[in-house]
């Protein structure tokens, strides 16, 4: 995956040419668009004093709303009840007052981590799910997630356990790099097989479809049951940047949500169902084909293309409605989540306002926080404090926790080589020792009811699984 930042404000042909050089053959956070850049997009604050802490929220996974008493909408009326705002909500977000720097923020740059001082993470617990509620993790801070794209091994190889591919995956999940206390407990799994030819021009169609093909459905059910028996939740993963480029394209993700929920309904055993749907939509990465550059046209105030933004909102609202109807029908609660670049809150006010509403369409948000934690221009570790972009230090854990006041967040880490991500965006060169030191710092120094934990992008090839010490 190419994690070189594709900033949303290109200013010259030289800049565009530079992006073209940096973008590789893989997607960044979006294997559906192998040239996508998940670590780019939009950012939240432009000041250089990024150390922001907020009063913790109390997230109630049974209602998908932050409990009354916190968040922009509640400051004036602590007793206000959470209600779903209209889907057309595109008002700019309210401003948060910058709190004082947290005295406990002692992040050390990962270029020279004090490994002996790294907090000792708790041993992973892996109980098999015993209820029809797949949302209990939203009230905890111990998520260790991992993307598994249809790459190498492919989805078909994993489901058929070709050459022991499935066995190898589950062994790694139980003890990444032989460390059982870091066991993965959540997968974002692209279960369908796709060709990515013309991915910026036409909507992909599955070449392998265990969601709908009867002969392969049982293999997927067995895979899901095995994951649940090991204490691993599985969310269906899919994404393509051009979903928002036309009304016809926007139907594809809506159909995906319908198909996944139909698959879940086909088994009465909760252990054989997906625990959620996870979409990766990165319109800023479309840099070739007939849709190239459209994202920067007909822009909303503080945002980007009006039609594309409206379709993006409609996709998420429609899938949310389908999931709510599924839950009402079956009693099985599953999550709906999505990926966003660490800079989205800064560069896209309409998306921030839409997703950061109380009781908005998502249960949680994955922040593709792609920095390797080297010091930024201010000397602060970049994974936590962000990095310079067009004259401002943007992104990072602290800034995003301050910006997304009404959503639980999962903070992702890039682990691919330079053919996928720039050195500064990935822990591939630093290795898993530095990566885990950063994880432990995140959990020890930035604990919050809205900080769900970490996600590793991605399993393989030449990525998280293959990191060196």
Beta bridge partners of residue 392, listed in sequence order: 389
For 14, 74, 193, the CA distances from 238, given in Å and listed in that order, are 32, 34, 10
> What pLDDT shows up at residue 5?
38
CA 285 to chain CA centroid, Å, is 16
Beta bridge partners of residue 59, listed in sequence order: 66
To the nearest 10 degrees (0 to 180), the angle between helices 214-229 and 165-174 is 20
162 vs 306: CA distance, rounded Å: 45
3-state secondary structure of 254: helix
> What pLDDT shows up at residue 322?
98
pLDDT range class, residue 131, cuts 50, 70, 90: low
Contact 301, 347 (CB under 8 A): no
190 vs 278: CA distance, rounded Å: 9
Q: Mind giving me the DSSP string for 289-352?
A: STTTTGGGSSBPTTSSBHHHHHHHHHHHHHHHHHHHHHHHHH--B-EEEEEEETTHHHH-HHHH
Instruction: State yes or no: cis peptide before 458, omega within 30 of 0.
Output: yes
**Tell me: the pLDDT tens digits for 430-444?**
999 999 999 999 999
Over residues 348-354, the mean pLDDT reads 97
61 vs 327: CA distance, rounded Å: 13
Over residues 328-347, the mean pLDDT reads 96
Q: Which two tokens stand for residue 151?
A: 């790459």
**Tell me: the pLDDT tens digits for 35-86?**
333 333 333 333 323 232 223 333 344 444 332 222 222 222 223 333 333 3
79 vs 75: CA distance, rounded Å: 10
162 vs 188: CA distance, rounded Å: 20
pLDDT range class, residue 123, cuts 50, 70, 90: very low
Q: Which two tokens stand for residue 156?
A: 């078909």
pLDDT range class, residue 269, cuts 50, 70, 90: very high
Q: Which two tokens stand for residue 311?
A: 């379709």
78 vs 43: CA distance, rounded Å: 29
Q: Which two tokens stand for residue 149?
A: 């794209």
Higher pLDDT, 234 or 134: 234
> What pLDDT shows up at residue 316?
98
In the chain, the domains with their CATH numbers are: 42-75+99-466 (3.20.20)
- What is the share, in percent, of the chain residues with pLDDT greater than 90? 68
Higher pLDDT, 448 or 27: 448
**Tell me: the pLDDT tens digits for 411-429?**
999 999 998 899 999 999 9
Least confident range of 30-39, 47-56, 345-354: 47-56
Residue length of the chain = 469
């Amino acid at each position: 995956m190419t994690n070189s930042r594709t900033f949303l404000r290109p200013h010259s042909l030289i800049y565009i040419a530079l992006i073209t050089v940096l973008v590789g053959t893989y997607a960044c956070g979006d294997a559906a668009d192998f040239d996508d850049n998940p670590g780019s997009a939009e950012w939240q604050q432009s000041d250089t004093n990024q150390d922001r802490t907020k009063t913790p929220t109390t997230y109630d996974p049974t209602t998908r709303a932050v409990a009354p008493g916190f968040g922009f909408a509640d400051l004036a009326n602590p007793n206000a009840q959470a209600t779903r705002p209209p889907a057309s909500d595109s008002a700019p977000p309210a401003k948060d007052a910058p709190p004082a720097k947290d005295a406990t923020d002692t992040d050390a740059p990962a270029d020279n981590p004090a490994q002996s001082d790294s907090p000792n993470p708790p041993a992973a617990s892996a109980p098999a799910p015993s209820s029809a509620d797949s949302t209990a993790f939203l009230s905890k801070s111990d998520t260790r997630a991992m993307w598994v794209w249809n790459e190498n091994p492919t989805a078909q190889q994993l489901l058929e356990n070709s050459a022991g591919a499935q066995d190898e995956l589950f062994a790694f999940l139980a003890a990444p790099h032989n460390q059982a206390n870091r066991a993965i407990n959540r997968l974002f799994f692209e279960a369908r097989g796709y060709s990515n030819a013309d991915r910026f021009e036409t909507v992909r169609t599955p070449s392998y479809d265990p969601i709908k093909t009867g002969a392969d459905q049982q293999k997927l059910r067995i895979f899901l049951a095995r994951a649940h028996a090991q204490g691993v939740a599985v969310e269906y993963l899919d994404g393509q940047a051009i979903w928002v480029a036309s009304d016809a394209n926007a139907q594809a993700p809506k159909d995906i949500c319908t198909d996944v929920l139909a698959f879940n309904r086909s088994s009465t055993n909760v252990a054989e169902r997906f625990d959620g749907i996870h979409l990766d939509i990165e319109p800023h990465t479309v840099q070739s084909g007939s849709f190239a550059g459209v994202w920067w046209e007909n822009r909303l105030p503080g945002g980007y293309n009006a039609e594309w933004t409206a379709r993006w909102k409609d996709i998420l609202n429609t899938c949310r409605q389908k999931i709510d109807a599924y839950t009402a029908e079956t009693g099985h609660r599953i999550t709906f989540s999505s990926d966003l670049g660490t800079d989205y809150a800064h560069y896209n006010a309409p998306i921030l306002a839409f997703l950061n509403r109380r009781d908005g369409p998502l249960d949680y948000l994955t922040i593709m926080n792609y920095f390797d934690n080297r010091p930024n221009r201010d000397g602060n570790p970049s994974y936590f404090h962000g990095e310079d972009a067009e004259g401002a230090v943007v992104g990072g854990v602290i800034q995003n926790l301050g910006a997304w006041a009404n959503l639980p967040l999962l903070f992702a880490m890039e682990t691919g080589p330079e053919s996928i991500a720039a050195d500064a965006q990935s822990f591939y060169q630093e290795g898993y020792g530095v990566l885990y030191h950063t994880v432990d710092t995140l959990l020890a120094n930035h604990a919050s009811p809205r900080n769900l934990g970490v996600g590793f992008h991605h399993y393989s090839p030449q990525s998280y699984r293959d990191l060196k010490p």
